[in-house]
Structure 1
Amino acid sequence: MASGANQQTQALAKPDFTEAQASALVESVFGLKVSKIQPLPSYDDQNFHVHISRTKDTADGPAECVLKISNTEASKNPDLIEVQNCVIMFLKAAGFPTASVCHTKEDNMMSLVSVDNGSGTRSHLLRLLTFLPGSPVAQTPVSPRLLYEIGRLAAKLDKTLESFHHPKLQSLHRDSFIWNLKNVPLLEKYMDALGQNGNREIVEQVIQLFKKEVVTKLSHFRECINHGDLNDYNILVQPSESASGDAVYQVSGVLDFGDMSYGCYVFEVAITIMYMMIESKNPIQVGGHILAGFESVVPLTAVERSALYLLVCGRFCQSLVMAAYSCQLHPENREYLMITAKTGWKHLQQMFDMGQKAVEEVWFETARSYEARRSM
């Protein structure tokens, strides 16, 4: 395993607070009485679903919140988390279904706490966000209409953030951030986690093609701020009744802005396509519906469209390689970490077997069918 990866692991210590400790933090830092607290699944941070007891002082406050405890590495960059908080509030003010940020007793948006776990003192940033209603897309029947709306949402989110300003916005330039889609070649440091097998061979081929076909075109992609993680657990939906009386699902929440960074419009649509493929019985069909929704707001250029296939493959590789690597570090979190791998390798193999031209034909033909409907 690469020494650079080992150093990152040492710096990135996942929080391991108990429910009692988390409850005490909510009360001491935010001044809210907890009636119930439950852990939520997470990648490298720690999250808790918190139910707040109503009192005279908190009668107008939220009844349910999410306590977010950042890992030690992220906690060293409060500027980045401050920007994330401000983006969440900016998008909410613009009409997006994002959470509200709860303030501490000192009227701050976050608080740094230090704990001694017996092997040294660690510092973690705390935030409290309002709990959003709905079910994850991963647990919902996904229709073409919902995929179209999710693609449209992804484009509107990035487009809206064009007008977001903040004195610490520079913190979103995360050049070596492993989850920025331009950084697929950085996966080479983590490849030993895959062992020697057919999966590794596919990833190696994707990386080489990515260097040749995508990295050389990066300067031609239009830049923007990316959410960067519109996955099937970070988008919540709720049912509503259509005019025909059938149940249709609408987006009720957008979660987890922890992977935000400066990227490109085409990155966001590629990431969204990849994650929406995970739960689909017809994964190749997904891309066209997402693309149609996205392009109803932000049409892609020819050069951006030509890179979409490899960008989707690249995101599969990022998710699958880093999940395998993280499982070596946190075997106790294997079930959550390997969610994508359950179907991800199969979908990546299918894309690779079909080839770029055949996959693009499905995507672009589906997207064209929406254009035809709009022009009627």
Structure 2
Amino acid sequence: MSSGVDQQSQVPAKPTFGEVQASALVESVFGLKVSKIQPLPSYDDQNFHVYTSRTKDTTDGPTEYVLKISNTETSKNPDLIEVQSHIIMFLKAAGFPTASVCRTKGDNITSLVSVDSGSEVKSYLVRLLTYLPGRPVAEIPVSLQLLYDIGRLAAKLDKTLEKFHHPKLSSLQRKNFIWNLKNVPLLEEYLHALGQNQTREIVEQVIQLFKEEVMTKLSHFRECINHGDLNDHNILIESSKSACGDAEYRVSGILDFSDMSCGYYVFEVAITIMYMMIESKSPMQVGGHVLAGFESIIPLTAAERGALFLLVCSRFCQSLVIAAHSCQLYPENKDYLMITAKTGWKHLQQMFDMGQKAVEEIWFETAKSYESGISM
């Protein structure tokens, strides 16, 4: 297992490159002439939307890219970045709508760049991916069919990765990675960010239940590689007109593979359900449609289904607690960090108020309705 960020349950420092610096990186490392560059929202890495100019040597091919600058902690783990990049290429070759990974002038897929700030020298891994067009799911009213399709996509992705092999695959065994769903107990280190209130009490209950009811049953779950972050901003869609003139949406892009790690099938569907609930006007109905899509490819076992409610609650807790902690560190990035929190606390509270049995009944009955061809 590789060393670096995953040996520490800490929130890493985000890079702070300016547009001029980022533009110079693209030209010096990748040999492309930048015509325009602008920052993209991000969590703890730094991303830029890059527009390039055509030259006499590049009359075809893409002109828009995403420059990804990894934070200092992740940059200490080049094996992990290499594996993630190869997974993106593997999935693209398998027909998934992922970006293409661009080569450096030295024909590598990453470059380590050192910056002297005066007091210290910091090193950052940089990559360049082709830009994927489309709108994030967060910007549209999500139909039941799209929820089903997204659940199916999550399962197909994990299923396809069963065939992925790489000599450095062990780097995905991210023991103390704060975003791996297995590591919910690590949230105890960050509870101070919530203060003393009812929301903290719910999180403490979820952590305790997780220790008792999930950690003791992990051996009953089937292992796989998880994308780990199929949220409503990492799935892009494109619209087309249906036969009756209505807009129909299909997935046109999958973004951000930086949270990939070894996990379990049930983790992927739980994470996907949680994020699809965020913008929904009927959040408790979401899970059944996502689950039906997922189970059309990978039916869950009884043990996996029994853990689903608590795993969704646990992902809410991860997102909400880490966001609160990150806001204390980076208040200037509060708007982006608190996207989930706007409705997340309300949804988590509602799940707790309804209880596992009532929520499961909705999810499982909805999923079952697809078997008869009548979705609820």
Structure 1-normalised TM-score? Answer: 0.96
Q: Which residue of 2 aligns with 1:366?
A: 366
2:188 corresponding residue in structure 1: 188
Alignment of 1:9-88 (within 5 A): 12-88=12-88
Aligned match of 2:244: 244
After superposition, give the CA deviation of every residue in 1:264-311 in whole Å (9 maximum; x if it has no partner).
Answer: 000000000000000000000000000000000000000000000000
Task: Tell me, yes or no, if the aligned pair for 1:79 and 1:168 is still in contact at 8 Å.
Answer: yes
TM superposition shift of 1:13:
2.3
Structure 2 CA distance for partners of 1:242 and 1:263, relative to 1, 3 Å? same
Alignment of 1:268-307 (within 5 A): 268-307=268-307
After TM superposition, the structure 1 stretch with the greater mean CA deviation from structure 2, 145-154 or 245-254, is: 245-254
Task: Give secondary structure in 2 for the equivalent of 1:138.
Answer: helix
Residues of 2 paired with 1:330 and 1:18: CA distance?
17
Instruction: Measure the CA separation in 1 of the matches of 2:333 and 2:13.
Output: 14
1:116 offset after TM fit, Å?
1.1
Please say if residues 155 and 265 of structure 1, whose CA atoms lie closer than 8 Å, have aligned partners that are also in contact: yes
**Equivalent in the alignment of 1:164:** 164
In structure 1, the partner of 2:118 is 118
Q: Does 1:255 pair with 2:259?
A: no
Matching of residues 173-184 of structure 1 within 5 Å: 173-184=173-184
Residue 14 of structure 1 and its aligned partner are, at CA, apart by 1.1
The correspondence of residues 203-352 of structure 1 with structure 2, limited to 5 A, is 203-352=203-352
SS of 1:298 mapped into structure 2: coil
Alpha-carbon distance in 2 for matches of 1:269, 1:134: 23
Residue 119 of structure 1: SS of its match in structure 2?
coil
What's the secondary structure of 1:352's corresponding residue? Answer: helix
**Residues 228 and 268, structure 1, Cα contact 8 Å, conserved in 2:** yes
2 CA distance for matches of 1:52 and 1:140?
29
Check whether the contact 2:9–2:186 (CA below 8 A) recurs between aligned residues. no
Equivalent position SS for 1:373: coil
Between Structure 1 and Structure 2, how many residues are aligned?
A: 370
- Whole-angstrom distance in 1 between the partners of 2:73 and 2:57: 35
The RMSD of aligned alpha carbons is: 1.5
Q: CA distance change for structure 1 residues 308 and 8 in 2, over 3 Å: closer, same or farther?
A: closer
Secondary structure of 2:225's aligned partner: strand
| Cα separation, 2, equivalents of 1:199 and 1:374 | 38
Q: In the aligned structure 2, how far is the partner of 1:117 from the partner of 1:47?
A: 20
SS in structure 2 opposite 1:102?
coil
2-side partners of 1:219 and 1:18: how far apart?
Answer: 46
Q: Is the 8 A contact 2:9 2:178 kept in 1?
A: no
Distance (Å, rounded) in 2 between the aligned partners of 1:55 and 1:63? 11
Question: Which ranges of structure 2 fall in alignment gaps of 5 or more residues?
Answer: none
Following the alignment from structure 1 to structure 2, what is the Cα–Cα distance between the partners of residues 32 and 125? 18
Identity of aligned residues (%): 79
- State the AA in 2 paired with 1:317: C
2-structure distance, mates of 1:350, 1:258: 30
Give the aligned partner of residue 146 of structure 2: 146
Three-state SS of the structure 2 residue aligned to 1:15 is: coil
User: Aligned pair in 2 of structure 1 residues 374, 352: CA closer, same or farther (>3 Å)?
Assistant: closer
Q: Distance in 2 between matches of 1:241 and 1:106?
A: 45
Q: Report Cα offsets for 1:109-149 as digits up to 9, x if no partner.
A: 01000001233110000000000010000001100000000
Work out whether residues 32 and 58 of structure 1, in 8 Å CA contact, stay in contact via their aligned partners in 2.
Answer: no
- The CA deviation at 1:245 is 2.5
The whole-number CA distance in structure 2 between the counterparts of 1:365 and 1:244 is: 29
Instruction: State the TM-score, normalized to the length of structure 2.
Output: 0.96
Distance 1:106 1:88 in 2: 20
What secondary structure sits across from 1:57 in the alignment?
coil
Structure 1 residue 8 displacement after superposition = 5.9
